[in-house]
Amino acid sequence: MSAARPPSSVDVAIIGAGAAGIAAARALAGAPLEVVVLEARNRIGGRAHTIDMNGTGLDMGCGWLHSADENVLAGMAEAQGFTVDRTPPPWESQAFNHEMSSAEQAEFRTAFAAFEARLAEAADRGEEGPASTLFEPDDRWNPRMDAISGALNGARFAEVSISDYDAYRDTGVNWRVAEGYGRMIAALGAGLPVVSDCPVACIDRTGPVLKLLTAKGTVEARAVIVTVPTDLIARESLRFDPPLPALVEAAAGVPLGLASKLHMTVEGADDFPKDSQLWGRSDTAETGGYHLRPFGRPMIEGWFGGDIARALEAEGEAAFFAFASDELVHLLGSNMRRRLAPVAASMWGAEPWSMGAYSHALPGHADDRTRLREAVENRLFFAGEATAEAFYGTAHGAWMEGERAARQALSALGLDPGRGRGDDEA
């Protein structure tokens, strides 16, 4: 990664060095093209970001290789020398039975499975609308379903499209990268022609070449791959001249929800089962999920999704720890307060280069993912987690979309789309 100025003219400019941008740049690496990746932040990885705690990697963004048996990044992680941890995820093993008895946990699982089955049937019938219309009216489990939606979608089911939720592909296999998913994505981006601290404000498409107005001067490009999060397009943090109203509208239909993480250390961690989970409360969506002893570490990872994440972010980083401590004291006793210490909380909604965590389609807007993916004038291409149809919201979905956009750019420039290096040969 270079903090230097970008070249004044390239064949392909990629905007954003997250999973999609890195995948696109790697896919173009073997082609006879000059390529630059323009990244607003002073680091690569985007929403894949691992911080270091005395040598231990803590993921602030993506942490799970979801649908791991079909996840292109799982094999690449091992090929890069990272450790893929196959311990079953904590949401499969509720610790203790404090806020819900085992019978209630089973009852909830049945209710959630029935909800998802009704939703799949509705999608098959072509019905569209808020996923919450498939709730049983006044059912006691509805708030808890919304707590789960907060984790899955970063928003309540009332804000989530039936057909988009149904389109997500989950094979039920979830692994992790022990050293950190963010570290692994950053390692895959090492050596690429990235210019950091270089936000692009506008893409001028009035002339025969595209002109990118960046914080480090103008870059001309024959083709551009845009990988910025949808909210940045919808709020025109990145603009187009002339404007692209259909693109802005499509981006607004697939906004980023909010999910937040809080890493804490815990004294006397052996009291808790490894890689298990607790929810703060079962009667409200405004609660946290707590992953006890991730990787067996003396830590707890708090998860907050949707409205509660937004409310805590608005109060500031310290509010996450205050909220989590209160919930864990309520569940596990007053001595938890002195046993816990905060390490770091994410603030993805407040970050200007993400403005949220991951996308969900609003009711009636499932088709916006396809519209977002449409090339403009065969020289502007779009990729990112939000353009993925089945693996949206994920790092591997973003990766596959970055590769797809790179193939489109190669074709547009008259090259064989199989010409780039791709990762088979990486």
Ligand X SMILES: Cc1cc2nc3c(=O)[nH]c(=O)nc-3n(C[C@H](O)[C@H](O)[C@H](O)COP(=O)(O)OP(=O)(O)OC[C@H]3O[C@@H](n4cnc5c(N)ncnc54)[C@H](O)[C@@H]3O)c2cc1C
The C-alpha atoms of residue 294 and residue 313 are separated, in whole angstroms, by: 23
Q: What are phi and psi of 96, to 5 degrees?
A: 50, -175
Nearest distance in Å: CB 263, ligand X: 11
Among 6, 189, 193, 393, binds ligand X (CB under 6 A): 393
Q: For strands 50-53 and 340-345, give the pairing.
A: unpaired
Nearer to ligand X, 232 or 380 (CB): 232
Cβ proximity to ligand X: between 20 and 336 the closer is: 20
Contact 224, 210 (CB under 8 A): yes
CB of 61 or CB of 253, closer to ligand X: 61
What 3-state DSSP class applies to 101?
A: coil
Which residue, 70, 69, 86, 77, is CA-closest to 48?
77
Residue of the chain from 259, 400, 405, 406 that contacts ligand X (CB under 6 A):
259
Is 277 an interacting residue with respect to ligand X (CB under 6 A)?
A: no
Q: Contact, 246 vs 326, CB < 8 A?
A: no
Q: Which DSSP helix (H) or strand (E) runs through 63?
A: none
Least distance (Å) between residue 420 CB and ligand X: 18
Closest CA to 360 of 318, 306, 324: 306
- The least CB distance from residue 16 to ligand X, in Å, is 3
Among 13, 14, 15, 219, binds ligand X (CB under 6 A): 15
Interface residues for ligand X in 233-252 (CB under 6 A)?
Answer: 238
Strands (E), 19-174: 35-38, 50-53, 56-59, 64-65, 84-85
Closest Cα partner for 154 from 394, 389, 314, 358? Answer: 358
Residue 124 CB, shortest distance to ligand X, in Å, is 26
Question: Residue 74 or 100: which CB sits closer to ligand X?
Answer: 74
Question: Residue 24, exposed/middle/buried by CB under 10 A (0-12, 13-18, 19+)?
Answer: buried
Instruction: Using the minimum distance from each CB to ligand X, give the nearer residue, 319 or 415.
Output: 319
Beta bridge partners of 239: 202
Binding mask 324-363 vs ligand X (x if CB under 6 A, - otherwise)? Answer: ----------------------x-x----xx--xx-----
d(CA 257, CA 423): 31
Q: Which of 10, 62, 177, 300 touches ligand X by CB under 6 A?
A: 62
179 token code pair: 């050293």
Out of 1, 11, 18, 327, name the contact with ligand X by CB under 6 A. 18
Q: Which stretch binds ligand X (CB under 6 A): 90-98, 271-279, 286-294, 395-403?
A: 395-403
Is residue 64 part of the contact set for ligand X (CB under 6 A)? yes
Q: Does 20 bind ligand X (CB under 6 A)?
A: yes
Residues 195-214 interacting with ligand X (rule: CB under 6 A)? 199-200
Q: Is 58 helix (H, G, I), strand (E, B) or coil?
A: strand
Interior angle at CA 394, CA 390 and CA 395, nearest 5: 125
Total residues contacting ligand X by CB under 6 A comes to 41
**Left (φ > 0), alpha (ψ -120 to 50) or beta: where does 379 sit?**
alpha
Query: Which CB atom, from 46 or from 422, has the smaller least distance to ligand X?
Result: 46
Binding of ligand X by 395 (CB under 6 A): yes
Give the residue with the Cβ less far from ligand X, 279 or 348: 348
Distance of closest approach, residue 278 Cβ to ligand X, in angstroms:
19
**Which residues ranging from 213 to 232 are in contact with ligand X (CB under 6 A)?**
227-229, 232
Cα 99 to Cα 26, 282, 332, 337: the distances in Å are: 47, 7, 10, 18
Q: Which residues bind ligand X (CB under 6 A)?
A: 15-21, 38-41, 46-48, 61-64, 66, 199-200, 227-229, 232, 238, 259, 261, 346, 348, 353-354, 357-358, 384-385, 393-396, 398
